[in-house]
Chain A
C-alpha cells in the first residue's frame, strides 16, 4: 500500500494521509486559518472600541459573541493546534522515529480538530454562537439564560469544543506513547531535545487537564440538550463550574506556553551556538511546573466566595510557580551571554518572545496576591497581562515557523522581509497591548471606558491593525519563498544539532536512510538492508541489539501511510454533533408533556434529528471500516524505551487513555460530592428505587471481569472455542447489567422521576448513564471482537487486543465499584 500512496500535489493525498509530516502540515495551515479568523474578530471589536460606548459596528449581542469567539478561537483552535503541528512534524524527527505510534489515530485527531472548527463556524449561522465569555461561567451558560433563538448555536459551540477536546485526547495518547516508547537507540530522557521535552510535558498536562474540560463540557452539553440541572441557578453551580473549568484552565496556560518555550530553547541554542545553560535544571523546572500547574487553579477564583484560608494557600502556590519560570528565563539570558548571538529572523522572534514574556510574567505576579486582585480583576490589567504572556507564546511559535520553514518546504525565505516582519510585529504588539496597562482601569467585558482613556484605546486599536498587518507581511514572505525561494540545504543554521537537520529538506516520506542511533553518544545512522523480505539476511549483525529482530517481523518492513476512515469518523461525528445541537426543543417538549415546566426553547426543527441519526449511522459505519482495515504502522524494533520496555505500544496507549478517563469520572463524581455537600449530605434524595439492583449489578460486573480474564487465558492458549465462550459470556453479563439498569430507569420513569426532575435526579441519571455508556462501548467492542474471531480466527496468534479490551473492561468495573456505594447506599 505504501507504493500507491498519492503524491503531494494530489488532493487525495491530503484526505487519506496518516504520515506525521503531512498531518503536521495540515495542522499548521488549519491553525493559521483560525488565527486569521480569530484575529479578524479581534479587529472587529478593537475597531468598535474606538470610542467609549462603541463605534456602532457591533450590537450588545454581537460584541459579546465576537469577544467570546475570539477567546475560544485563539486559545483552542489556534494556539494548541499550531504547536501540535510542529510537534507532529518534528517530535518524531527529533527522537529518531519513523512516525507516531498510532498514525491513524493521529489523522483522526486532525480531522476531529478540523471538523470541530467547522462546527464552531456553523454555530454563527444557527442563531448566533455562544456569547457568555470563553470561560463559559455558570449559570449563564444554560439555556434558561440564553435567548431562545440562539440555543442551537450556543450548544453547537459547546459541542464543537467537546469535539476539539476529544481531538486533543487522541493526540495526547499518541504523543505520550511515541515519546516514551519510540526514541532512537541511546536517546535517554535527559538527552532528549528540549522541544520534545516541552511537548512531552505539554502532553502529560493535556492528558489530565483536557479530561477535566471534557467532563465539564459533557455535563454542560447534557444540561443544554437533555435539560439536566447541573449548572442551573442556585445550588452552588457557579462555583462547581469554576472549579472544574479552572482545574483545566490553569494548566492550559502552560499547555499553550510550553511548546513556545521549547522553541525558544531550540532557537537560542542554535543561534547562540551554545548548549543551553543549566539544561538539566531547566528540565527539572519544567517538570516542577507541570506538576504544580494542577495546584494553582483557585487563583482564578480569588473574588468568588471561597474562604480566605484556601485563597492564601493558592496565593502561595501561585507565587511559587513563578520560581521555576525565573530559572528558565535566567537560563535563556545566560545562554545568550555565554554564546555568540546571530540575529536571524527566528532568533529575533524568540528574543522578542522572551522580552514580552518577562513583561507578561512580572505583571502577572501582582495578580497572584489576593488583596491586589480585588483591584485588578476584571480590568484591562488582566487583559494586557495574559495577552503579553499568551501572545509572547505566539511570538515564539512564529519563531518556530521561520526556524523550521526551510526544513518543511525545502525553500529559504528572504531574511530582510523576515526581519521587517519582526519589526512590524514587535511594534504592533506593543502598541496594541501596552496601552492596555496604561488604561488598566477600564472594565473588561463592556465597551465603555472613562473619557480620559480614549487615547489609550485608540492607540491600542491602531496597534491592532499594525499587528494584523505584520501577519500579512509574514504570509507574503512565506508565499514568496514557496514560489521563488532558493532551495534550502539540509541544515541552513550551522549550529543546530537536533536530528531533523541531518536529513534532506524536505525530509523523505520514510524520514531516515538507515536507523538513527545515539548508542555511541552522537547521532549515527546504522546501515540496515531494506530488502530483507526474501529471508531475513539483511540484519546488520554488528549491532548487538538487532538480535531481537526475527525474520517474521522483518517481513512487515513496508509501512502504510494512507487511510480514509479517520476522515470518515471525523465527518460522522461532526454531522452527529451538529444534529444534537438542535435536539433541545424536542426534549423540552417531552419534558413539558411529563409535567415539567421548561421554557426558553423555540420550535423543534426536523432537520436536527435527521442529522443526528445520519451522523450516528455514518460514525458507526466508518468505525466498523476502521476496525476492519489492515493497517501496518511503521515499526521500531530497536528503541530506547526506559522505563517502559515491558509495556507494548497498544497497552501503553490504553493505560494513558484510562488515566484520562479517571479524571473524567473523577470530575463527574466530584461534581456529585460537591453538590451533595452543598445541599447538606443528609438532605440528599437517594434516587435509585432500591439498593439490590445496584448490588446485583456489582456481582454481574465483577463476574464479567473474571470471564474477561479467562478470555485472555484462552487467547494465550490459542483455544478458539474457549475464547469465543468466555467473550460471549462477558458480552451476556454486560447485557444483563444493561438490562437491570434499564429496569431500574424504567421503575423511576414510572414514578414520574426523570433526569430533569431535580438536581439529585440529574446527577443520578447522568453519572450512572456515563458509566452505562462506557459499558455500551465495551459491548460494541466485544461484539466486534467476537465477529472477528468467528470469521478470521483473530487474536489466536496475537492475544494483545483481548488484553487491551480486558484492561478497559476492568476499569469500567472499578468505576462501578465506586458508583454503587455512592449512589445506592450512602
Chain B
C-alpha cells in the first residue's frame, strides 16, 4: 500500500512516455478533430434544423411590418392566409400576434419571429406527435428569419417555452397546415 501523499519512486516527472501510449494519444487527438469538423460541417450542410438569419429590429418597426403583412394576408375562418411565403409572428404577453395562420404543406416559408415585450419561447409541435418540436428563443429587439417547411398537413401548436409572467402557461396558439395544392 503506497500512501496517497507520498510521491511515487524515482524521477516520475521526466519519465519517457511509452511509444504505444503516444500513438494512442495521437489517435485520440485526430479522432477529436474529425468529430469537431464533422459536427461543424454537418451543422452547416447536413439536412439539419435550419439556423436562419437574425436582424436587429425595434418594436415599432416590427409592428409596422406585422401590420403590412396582416393587411396583405387573407382573413379566413381558420386564421390568416399569408400572401407570399413570408410569415410574421410576434410574442406579446400572453399571446402570439399573427397566429393562427393557415399554411400549405411542402412549401418553404420564411418565419419572421420577434417579441413586443419580454423573451418568449417559440416551441412548435405537431398535434399528433407532440414530441417533435423545434424551439427558438424569441427576444425583443431582434427579428429572426427561419426557413421552415411543413412535411405533413395538420395542426401545429405554438407553445411559449420561456417564463414570461403569470399568464405564461396559457400562451399558446396554432398553425394550420393544409394539403399541398
Do A and B belong to a common assembly? yes
Among A100-108, A236-244, A460-468, A715-723, the one that faces the other chain is A236-244
A273 on the B face (CB < 8 A): yes
Choose from B39, B49, B162, B170 the contact partner of A137 (Cβ within 8 Å): B162
Select from chain A the residue with minimum beta-carbon distance to B122. Answer: A303
Select from chain B the residue with minimum beta-carbon distance to A139. Answer: B118
Instruction: Report the separation of the CA atoms of residues A91 and B83 in the bound assembly, to the nearest whole angstrom.
Output: 69
Tell me if A445 and B166 are in contact (CB < 8 A): no
Instruction: Report the separation of the CA atoms of residues A306 and B56 in the bound assembly, to the nearest whole angstrom.
Output: 11
A503 to chain B, nearest CB (A): 15
25 contacts between A and B (CB under 8 A): A61-B166, A131-B166, A138-B119, A140-B165, A145-B117, A145-B165, A233-B141, A236-B56, A238-B140, A238-B141, A275-B4, A305-B137, A305-B144, A308-B43, A311-B51, A315-B39, A316-B40, A374-B135, A375-B133, A377-B137, A441-B133, A445-B168, A498-B5, A522-B3, A678-B56
B15 to chain A, nearest CB (A): 11
| Residue numbers in B under 8 Å from A273 (CB-CB) | 1
Instruction: Report the separation of the CA atoms of residues A678 and B139 in the bound assembly, to the nearest whole angstrom.
Output: 14
Choose from A137, A305, A518 the contact partner of B142 (Cβ within 8 Å): A305
Tell me if A445 and B117 are in contact (CB < 8 A): no
Known: A145-B118, A238-B140, A319-B36. A448 touches B169 (CB 8 A): yes
A323 on the B face (CB < 8 A): yes
Tell me if A445 and B161 are in contact (CB < 8 A): yes
Tell me if A269 and B43 are in contact (CB < 8 A): no
Tell me if A308 and B51 are in contact (CB < 8 A): yes
Interface size on A, residues (CB 8 A): 71
Tell me if A370 and B166 are in contact (CB < 8 A): no
Tell me if B166 and A64 are in contact (CB < 8 A): yes
| Residue numbers in B under 8 Å from A369 (CB-CB) | 39, 43
8 Å CB interface, B113-144 against A: 117-119, 121, 123, 125, 130-131, 133-137, 139-142, 144
- A302-337 vs B, CB cutoff 8 Å, 1 = contact: the mask equals 011111100110011001100100000000000000
A363 on the B face (CB < 8 A): no
| Residue numbers in B under 8 Å from A147 (CB-CB) | 166
Choose from A304, A445, A450, A497 the contact partner of B139 (Cβ within 8 Å): A304
8 Å CB interface, B1-52 against A: 1-8, 13, 32, 35-36, 39-40, 42-44, 46, 48-49, 51
B159 on the A face (CB < 8 A): yes
Tell me if A191 and B135 are in contact (CB < 8 A): no
Given pairs A319-B36, A445-B168, A446-B169, 17 additional interface contacts (CB within 8 A) = A60-B167, A64-B168, A133-B162, A140-B163, A145-B117, A234-B140, A234-B141, A269-B4, A303-B137, A316-B39, A371-B48, A375-B133, A378-B121, A379-B135, A443-B123, A445-B162, A498-B5
B157 to chain A, nearest CB (A): 10
Q: Which 8 A-B pairs have the closest CB atoms?
A: A441-B131, A305-B54, A378-B161, A374-B49, A371-B48, A446-B169, A140-B118, A305-B142
| Residue numbers in A under 8 Å from B141 (CB-CB) | 233-239, 678
Instruction: Report the separation of the CA atoms of residues A133 and B140 in the bound assembly, to the nearest whole angstrom.
Output: 18
| Residue numbers in A under 8 Å from B163 (CB-CB) | 64, 68, 131-133, 137, 140, 445
| Residue numbers in A under 8 Å from B144 (CB-CB) | 305
| Residue numbers in B under 8 Å from A495 (CB-CB) | 1
Instruction: Report the separation of the CA atoms of residues A61 and B164 in the bound assembly, to the nearest whole angstrom.
Output: 11
Tell me if B130 and A450 are in contact (CB < 8 A): yes
- B66-110 vs A, CB cutoff 8 Å, 1 = contact: the mask equals 000000000000000000000000000100000000000000000
A376 to chain B, nearest CB (A): 8
A760 to chain B, nearest CB (A): 16
B59 on the A face (CB < 8 A): yes
Tell me if B166 and A233 are in contact (CB < 8 A): no
A166 on the B face (CB < 8 A): no
Instruction: Report the separation of the CA atoms of residues A537 and B173 in the bound assembly, to the nearest whole angstrom.
Output: 85
Tell me if B35 and A319 are in contact (CB < 8 A): yes
Instruction: Report the separation of the CA atoms of residues A376 and B134 in the bound assembly, to the nearest whole angstrom.
Output: 8
Tell me if A497 and B5 are in contact (CB < 8 A): yes
- A178-205 vs B, CB cutoff 8 Å, 1 = contact: the mask equals 0000000000001101000000000000
| Residue numbers in B under 8 Å from A233 (CB-CB) | 59, 117-118, 140-141
- A370-404 vs B, CB cutoff 8 Å, 1 = contact: the mask equals 11001111110000000000000000000000000
Select from chain B the residue with minimum beta-carbon distance to A304. Answer: B137
Instruction: Report the separation of the CA atoms of residues A320 and B49 in the bound assembly, to the nearest whole angstrom.
Output: 23
Select from chain B the residue with minimum beta-carbon distance to A150. Answer: B166
Choose from A68, A275, A371, A375 the contact partner of B43 (Cβ within 8 Å): A371
Tell me if A275 and B3 are in contact (CB < 8 A): yes
| Residue numbers in B under 8 Å from A445 (CB-CB) | 121, 161-163, 168
A482 on the B face (CB < 8 A): no
| Residue numbers in B under 8 Å from A164 (CB-CB) | none
A350 to chain B, nearest CB (A): 15
Tell me if B32 and A60 are in contact (CB < 8 A): no
8 Å CB interface, A7-43 against B: none
| Residue numbers in B under 8 Å from A237 (CB-CB) | 140-141
Instruction: Report the separation of the CA atoms of residues A312 and B93 in the bound assembly, to the nearest whole angstrom.
Output: 32
A535 on the B face (CB < 8 A): no
Instruction: Report the separation of the CA atoms of residues A446 and B94 in the bound assembly, to the nearest whole angstrom.
Output: 13
A447 on the B face (CB < 8 A): yes
A342 on the B face (CB < 8 A): no
